[in-house]
Amino acid sequence: MSLEKAATRVTLRIPSSLAGLKQGSEERSRWLSQWNLGEETGNRAHLVFDEIVTNIIRYAFGDGHEHGIEVAFHLADDSLTLSFDDDGRPFDPRTAPEPVNTGSLAKAAIGGRGLLLVRKAAKRLNYERSIAGRNRLSVELARS
């Protein structure tokens, strides 16, 4: 597909499950493959998508029900923005504490490094809690 014909913005709605994550990842990959963005930008988009959707699935809800997650990708001249919209508990990733660097395996936490990776990959993060009670996070990546 040519640069002129491909849509510069797509929106997906996926269920909050591993199957939903896989489905969204495949659609993201298919859409990105239409653009010649390079491996580094593709990897950063994959990383941000995997970390944020995984976090939403694992931590945003507590009711045992499947929820919908809306994910949008927007390509501009110098950036690629991934936006996430969910109705889970309020959570601003910009304020999450950095993982403590213990320097030893015995004291190291098993998890808690995903948001550090997102912050390092991102050019900009924006978060708002909507009046309707939804988390809206956007992660802007530089195009390499």
Is the CB of residue 24 less than 8 Å from the CB of residue 12?
yes
DSSP string, 15-65: ESSHHHHHHHHHHHHHHHTTS---HHHHHHHHHHHHHHHHHIIIII--SS-
Is the CB of residue 74 less than 8 Å from the CB of residue 9?
yes
Using the minimum distance from each CB to other proteins, give the nearer residue, 36 or 104.
Answer: 104
102 is a site residue for other proteins (CB under 8 A): yes
Number of residues that bind other proteins (CB under 8 A): 28
Among 36, 78, 111, 132, binds other proteins (CB under 8 A): 111
How far is 130 from 73, CA to CA, in rounded Å? 20
Among 14, 32, 47, 71, binds other proteins (CB under 8 A): 47
Among 99, 125, 142, 143, binds other proteins (CB under 8 A): 99
How far is 34 from 21, CA to CA, in rounded Å? 20
Among 37, 117, 125, 142, binds other proteins (CB under 8 A): 117
Residues lying near other proteins in the complex (CB under 8 A) are found at 18, 21-22, 25, 39, 43, 46-47, 50-51, 53-54, 99, 101-106, 108-111, 113-114, 116-117, 120
